[in-house]
Amino acid sequence: MRDRYSRAAVAAVLLFLSLVAAGCAANGAATDAPEILEVTQGVFTGGDYPLQVEWRDEPRVLDLRKRERLDAIVAGAKGEIEIFKRLTAWSRAQFEPGVPEPYPLCNGVSILEAIRSRKTGGFCGQYSYLLGDALKSFGYFAVRYVELENANGSGHFAVEAWCNDLNRWVLLDPLNAALYVREGTPLSALEIHEEVAAGRGASVRVNRLPIPTSAATVPAHGPGGKDALPRIITNDAELIALFENVAVSTRNDFARLVSPLTIAQREGIFLRFVDPRGPGFRNMNFALTTVRREDILMPMNQVQIDAVPDEGTQQMHVMFSTRGTCPHFVRYRVKIGNAAWRDTGPKVAWTLAAGENVLQVRAVNAYEVLGPVFTLRVRV
């Protein structure tokens, strides 16, 4: 997908600049136009299911970070994947798997209050909502929830987060404190599904995280005692088989809700990927469906670069746009040559020097979370 859309964007820019280079000045002399050496554009898939995200100042999300001292959990983390791993393991360490009966609200603060007061238990849904709020509290608003089901109808619930460092969606499984990787690369739910559907499930490895031990971890809770506690899957192949069917949420703004999400509500806001190689979900009937993997794997925090040479000068006008892919976007951050990164608006007047010139740009959101780096490299 990425190569397909990147090639189209690159071709458009190169075509425009080649036409400028081929043009003539008013006196008939050829103009000196910059030569494009490299352009890495954002990928824009034109999907029909944009992600509706949490309000950036949602009190319950902000309170979770403060109350649980999450800054100490991620302190010193080297990169986003390390942050994601630490918050996934922290979520799993808060309580032992139990039965969520009665079902708690879908925000981290309320979940912890209800479980710690022994009013209910928590399973995959509660771990996922807790992790989702923890991620959002640090400005990772490109988070969504994932419904999974194997061929026998057994279900699972997890989280996906957009990783800017890797420019991809990554599946986080807080119940099992795990990521799923292929050749060292963390995968999304749909990518895992594609391996399973193609009979290559064995190529996926379950990367289990160490779970911190604490006396504060709440014991398992269930109205029927230990015999009624849910089963935990310990076999990796059985876990990977849960990706036979995949659906992702089209929104994550659940912290404000005053009642738990019902099954019917989830069926109305999750987008199911329809794969003709499998029978589909047995126990969930989703209203939204797609056969386009681009609708599921739509990139986030992207930047489109448009460059227009100023004829007769050594200057290029460079315009940026996120095209709506960056939740709570506030500005761009640009680096020209060896200069320091600096904040900017959607347009930069770039004075070119003889030789090679490099411009890099990223989107920045309200929490100073930086998107992937996109590059324009030209030679004069």
Mean residue pLDDT across the chain = 91
Residue 19 per-residue DSSP state: H
Answer yes or no: are the C-beta atoms of 118 and 125 closer than 8 Å: no
> Which residue segments constitute the domains of the chain, with CATH numbers given?
2-44+300-379 (2.60.40.10), 59-296 (no CATH)
Answer yes or no: are the C-beta atoms of 81 and 163 closer than 8 Å: yes
What would the pLDDT profile of 57-105 be if each residue is shown by its tens digit? 999 999 999 999 999 999 999 999 999 999 999 999 999 999 999 999 9
pLDDT confidence of 28, banded at 50, 70, 90? very low
Instruction: Give CA–CA dist 258/309, Å, rounded.
Output: 54
What would the pLDDT profile of 183-201 be if each residue is shown by its tens digit? 999 999 999 999 999 999 9
Which residues 6+ apart lie within 8 Å of 29 measured at CB? none
What is the pTM assigned to this prediction?
A: 0.91
Q: Is the pLDDT of residue 30 over 50?
A: no
Residue-by-residue DSSP string for 236-296: HHHHHHGGGEEEEESB---TT-SSPPPHHHHHHHEEEE--TTS---SS---SEEES-HHHH
Residues paired with 363 in a beta bridge: 332
What would the pLDDT profile of 264-317 be if each residue is shown by its tens digit? 999 999 999 999 998 899 999 999 999 999 999 999 999 999 999 888 888 899
